[in-house]
Amino acid sequence: MTDVSNAPAQDAGWRGKFAGFALAVSLFSILWFAAAAVGTKLGLWTWQFGLGQMTIGWGPMILMGALGLSVLAFIAALLKSPRKQALMLALAALLISGLAFGRVAAFGAQAARLPPLHDIQTDWADPIQPSDALFTEREATGALNPIENDPVIDVGANARWPGMGGRRVAEVQEEAEFDTATHKSPKETPYPMLAPLIAANTADEGYAAALAAVEGKGWTVVLAEPEEGRIEATQTSYWFGFKDDILIRVRSEGEGVRIDVRSVSRVGLSDLGANAKCVRDLLDEIEARLAKGG
């Protein structure tokens, strides 16, 4: 009988070590993106460095290196026996780096597809104006994006979005919601269709539903004036800690209520559709609350 206790270990030598290294680099690439986001949120470095340099600049190159090492480790593992150890490590590295690279590629495609907007609202013909309290809060945090009645896209956007610089935000938002040239439906366009919420409720009920929706989302309420029908709140993103300001206006209209919403990012040229989604989700929640009476 063979004494298996004295059998040589079935490792793959340098191929196993190489596969282990590829796995370590793949795991490091994930930690890199997490560190970029968490460090920005904690104030260890600026958002321009955390997002612009670490995430967008160096991040894809690190992922490509991890993916390339994983492919080479996988090929090396198939060269000869023993294969099990090296193959398992290489497959793990390939899975991690491949999924991460795919997510980053999808992120880049989304960024290229969406217009460079960071200020979205339901009615540009009658824009919602921020209060002095919100202006003070934004200035204290170094907000770079102004809140204007009729903003235009910064000319610097032309570098990544040719022809967009200098255009009115209101026009670009409308085109993103519905492409009049191709007559695409809202489901086929980059942004959801946004319009004021009009319901057969009183203004008081509309205000209560809007405030309850804001508080239910855990946003920071900056201002709440029921007499004026105004609510201002700030939401903070989980990873980078980016802040978006949400302005809500509640008015009586006929025998019902009209609710308008505006969402503005404090920094950044493009919000990747976050503000449009925020407005759409908030309106849907307010409408649901009004429908069930609370």
Neighbouring-strand partners of residue 198: 258
Q: How many of the other CB atoms lie within 10 Å of CB of 80?
A: 11
Residues 6+ apart with CB under 8 A from 275: 117, 118, 119, 120, 244, 263, 264, 265
Helices (H), ranges, the chain: 14-41, 47, 59-77, 84-113, 132-140, 169-177, 203-216, 274-291
Residue-level pLDDT at 282: 97
Q: How confident is the model at residue 144 (pLDDT cuts 50, 70, 90)?
A: very high
Closest by CA position to 85, among listed 7, 4, 8, 10:
10
Q: Residue ranges per domain, the chain?
A: 11-113, 119-163+194-291
pLDDT of residue 61: 95
As a whole number of angstroms, the distance between CA 220 and CA 75 comes to 52
Residue 185 predicted with pLDDT over 60: no
> Which residues are 119's β-sheet partners?
264
pLDDT tens string 205-219: 999 999 999 999 999
Q: How many other C-beta atoms lie within 10 A of the C-beta of residue 293?
A: 8
Q: What is the pTM of this model?
A: 0.84
Whether the upstream peptide bond of residue 226 has omega within 30° of 0, thus cis, is: no
158-176 pLDDT per residue, tens: 988 999 999 999 999 998 8
| Strand ranges (E), 183-254 | 197-199, 220-225, 230-236, 243-253
How does DSSP classify residue 8? Answer: P
Which helix (H) or strand (E) segment holds residue 120: the answer is strand 119-121
**Distance between CA atoms of residues 232 and 90, nearest Å:** 51
Tens-digit pLDDT profile for residues 118-131:
999 999 999 999 99
> Which amino acid, one-letter code, is at 6?
N
- Identify residue 1 by its one-letter amino acid code: M
Using CB atoms within 10 Å of the CB of residue 14, give its burial: 0 to 12 exposed, 13 to 18 middle, 19+ buried: exposed
CATH number of the domain at 119-163+194-291, please?
3.30.530.50
CA distances from 267 to 118, 144, 211 (A): 8, 5, 25
Radius of gyration of the chain (CA): 25
